Amino acid sequence: MKTLREHLLERSREAAPERELAAMRERVRAGLEQTRARAGGGAAGPLDVLRGAWRELIWPCRGLWSGLAAAWVVVLVLNHASRPAGGEPSIPSSEIVALHGLWREQQDLLAALARSPGPASAQAGRGTADPSAPEHRRSEPGEAPSKPLGSWREPGEAAGEGILT
Tell me how far apart the alpha carbons of residues 42 and 44 are, in angstroms, rounded to a whole number. Answer: 6
CA 141 to chain centre: 45
- Predicted confidence (pLDDT) per residue in 115-142, tens digit: 877 665 555 555 555 555 555 555 566 6
- The arithmetic mean of pLDDT across residues 35-55, rounded, is 77
pLDDT of residue 17: 72
Grade residue 162 by pLDDT with cuts at 50, 70 and 90: very low
Question: Please, what's the largest Cα pairwise distance for the chain?
Answer: 106
pLDDT for 56-95, tens place per residue? Answer: 888 888 899 899 999 999 999 999 888 877 666 566 778 8
* Tens digit of each residue's pLDDT (9 = 90 or more) over 25-37: 899 999 888 887 7
Sequence ranges of the domains in the chain: 10-42, 46-77
> Is the whole-model pTM more than 0.95?
no
* Long-range Cβ contact pairs of 33-38 (< 8 A, separation 24 or more): none
Residue 21: CB atoms within 10 A of its CB come to 13
